[in-house]
Amino acid sequence: MHEACVIMQHVPVYFPERYLPPEQGHNATTILSQLTLYIITAMFFNVFYGGSGVIRDQARPSFSYIICVYGDIAMLKNKNIVLGITGGIAAYKAAELTRELVKRGATVKVIMTQNATRFITPLTLQTLSGNPVYTDMFTLSGDWDIHHISLAQSADIVVVAPATYNTIGKIASGIADDLLSTTMAATKAPVLICPAMNSNMYDNPILRSNIDKLSALGYLFMDAGSGELACKAEGAGRLPNPIDIVEEVETILTQKDLKGHRILITAGPTRESFDPVRYISNHSSGKMGYALALMARRRGADVTLISGPVSLPVPVGARFVGVSSASEMRDAVMEHIEGATVIIKAAAVADYRPSTPADSKLKKGAGRLDISLEKTPDIISEVSKKKGNRILVGFAMETEDLIKNARAKMKAKGMDLIVANELGLPGSGFQHDTNIVKIIDPSGNVEELPLMDKRDVADRILDRVLEISDAGKG
Ligand code: PMT
């Protein structure tokens, strides 16, 4: 990775924060303006590439591409989500949850209990979801629909957020006395319950036994967060962050085809210090490796993520090991290799490090400063010697002869697949949310992927891993 090295000052290491920075504008105006932007963009491409033929097919961006250019992809497209909102102060957060679900392409139908309507208006949820909001069992509707049955049957998932002590108690006791509890009784879809309440209520043994009972029956729960509560008490009882609820929904709705696999993934750059203040590094943001960890988790794999210093949130449920230098990454990989069935090396590891790092800050002199470099451990070569039946996937980043050099690396290091990165194309390589790669196998086949969100690239790599794994079983 020495081709892309940059020298930097040591700055505070931003090991993964749980949340990305909040976005501006969580309101209907923003959604309308995003929608308008999308429609204008779609019209633009229709006008310019609207004819038939090759140019149109290659040039017109897909819906998910347009969404990803504006920061998101339609992961929940075609999914029907029934969102139940019950009467607690955290009900206002359901507005953001609705917005995030809709942003990802989901159809969201909201059911509010009567108490929930005291905390947030149905009009807010109707505007954000773009669908009628249901608040009452017995409201006449023009379409002859029996709402609790049609909502229950159409749902791919029912999410209750926030779920109060009272609602959880009702569901656990089989009480169905309003539209939400009746819909929950009638659905065969997975139900995700996100409790939010005062910490003493959250600790109450009656609630605990209700959660245990419902969990045993297959209902899914998210743990409440801790911190200062609306009642000023400190403790557990906060509604999980809406982004984490969305992630949980996406995980639940993803087929668990990697269940049973234990996947070790490396990500991010390494830093090689030449004094306590400065180091050699590269431009890797970790996005490709973290996308692999995220998608592998969603698909049911047990994931260990070994990462150099980056500022990305650790995918929920992944085991995380933070490292800094190539030699720390090597030690972490060797420590965790034993149980792994798949190893994916997406990290941009420095090939060279200063031979004799100084103990104190190097003073600026009058002339030039020469630093002698030595090789870092070649982690993938070492892994290759211990490979056994494990599936080994490497990455290659080249500025010339990409395929030829990638093939040579794959052969020399005994990989089952190599993912060759296009450098220099817009939207590809370091830092971007998107990538353009070629997946090469030892038989010489080259699968060329177009510009895609890194999460979609990750999915395609994992599909290939699964194929190799299935072929090995046969
Ligand atoms: O992190 P992002 O900003 O999202 O960018 C993603 C990425 C471009 C960093 C990623 O997609 C990528 O290409 N990672 C590998 C880059 C690289 O180091 O390529 P390489 O050709 O120098 O190394 C080949 C393989 O050997 C890699 O799998 C690397 O992890 C591994 N290696 C390299 C050196 C070393 N000392 N030990 C290793 O194991």
- Tens digits of residue pLDDT in 341-392: 999 999 999 999 999 999 999 998 899 999 999 999 999 999 999 999 999 9
Could you tell me if 167 and 294 lie in one domain? no
Tokens found for residue 459 = 């999915």
Tokens found for residue 101 = 């679900």
The pLDDT mean for the chain works out to 86
CATH number at residue 82: 3.40.50.1950
Task: Name the residue at shortest CA distance from atom 31 of ligand 1.
Answer: 380
Among residues 201, 229, 252, which one ends one of the domains?
252
Task: Name the residue at shortest CA distance from atom 23 of ligand 1.
Answer: 396
pLDDT at 56: 28
User: Which ligand 1 atom minimizes the distance to the CA of 1?
Assistant: 22
Question: HEC states along 201-215?
Answer: HHHCHHHHHHHHHHH
Q: Which residue has the tokens 């500022």?
A: 311
* Three-class secondary structure of residue 279 per DSSP: strand
Distance 13 CA to ligand 1 centre (A): 20
Distance 327 CA to ligand 1 centre (A): 15
The side-by-side arrangement of strands in the sheet containing 272-273 is 6-9, 278-281, 272-273
The pLDDT of 434-449, averaged and rounded, is 95
**CB of residue 287 inside a 6 A radius of ligand 1:** yes
pLDDT at 473: 77
Could you tell me if 279 and 427 lie in one domain? yes
**CB of residue 421 inside a 6 A radius of ligand 1:** yes
Q: Which residues pair with 109 in a beta bridge?
A: 82
Among residues 252, 282, 313, which one ends one of the domains?
252
Domain contains 48: no
**CB of residue 420 inside a 6 A radius of ligand 1:** no
**CB of residue 394 inside a 6 A radius of ligand 1:** yes
For a mutational test of ligand 1's pocket, the pick from 379, 392, 397, 411, i.e. the residue with the most ligand atoms closer than 8 A to its C-beta, is 397
**CB of residue 378 inside a 6 A radius of ligand 1:** yes
Could you tell me if 382 and 469 lie in one domain? yes
Residues with catalytic function: 231
CATH number at residue 296: 3.40.50.10300
Could you tell me if 164 and 287 lie in one domain? no
Distance 424 CA to ligand 1 centre (A): 16
Task: Answer whether the bond into residue 190 is a cis peptide, omega within 30°.
Answer: no
Could you tell me if 268 and 234 lie in one domain? no
Distance 112 CA to ligand 1 centre (A): 49
Domain contains 54: no
Q: Which residue has the tokens 């929940």?
A: 76
* Three-class secondary structure of residue 190 per DSSP: coil
- Tens digits of residue pLDDT in 34-58: 545 545 544 443 433 333 322 222 3
Distance 405 CA to ligand 1 centre (A): 13
Domain contains 139: yes
Among residues 221, 252, 283, which one ends one of the domains?
252
**CB of residue 351 inside a 6 A radius of ligand 1:** yes
Transcribe 347-371 into DSSP letters.
-B--SEEESS--SSPPPP-SS----
Domain housing 238 = 77-252
Could you tell me if 161 and 285 lie in one domain? no
Domain contains 273: yes
Q: Which residues pair with 82 in a beta bridge?
A: 109, 158
Could you tell me if 353 and 459 lie in one domain? yes
Confidence band (pLDDT; 50, 70, 90) for 33? low
Could you tell me if 350 and 462 lie in one domain? yes
Say which residue, 348 or 13, is predicted with more confidence: 348
Domain contains 467: yes
Q: How many structural domains does the chain have? A: 2
**CB of residue 326 inside a 6 A radius of ligand 1:** yes
pLDDT over 70 at 406, yes or no:
yes
Could you tell me if 229 and 336 lie in one domain? no
pLDDT over 90 at 394, yes or no:
yes
Confidence band (pLDDT; 50, 70, 90) for 423? confident
Domain contains 49: no
H or E element, residue 415: none
The pLDDT of 146-158, averaged and rounded, is 88
**Lowest-confidence region among 166-175, 190-199, 222-231, 441-450:** 222-231
Return all residues near 431 (Cβ < 8 A) that are at least 6 apart. 283, 285, 287
Could you tell me if 162 and 207 lie in one domain? yes
**CB of residue 310 inside a 6 A radius of ligand 1:** no
Rounded to whole angstroms, how far apart are CA atoms 135 and 262? 45
Full-model pTM: 0.80
User: Which ligand 1 atom minimizes the distance to the CA of 409?
Assistant: 24
Could you tell me if 406 and 446 lie in one domain? yes
Distance 325 CA to ligand 1 centre (A): 14
User: Which ligand 1 atom minimizes the distance to the CA of 398?
Assistant: 21
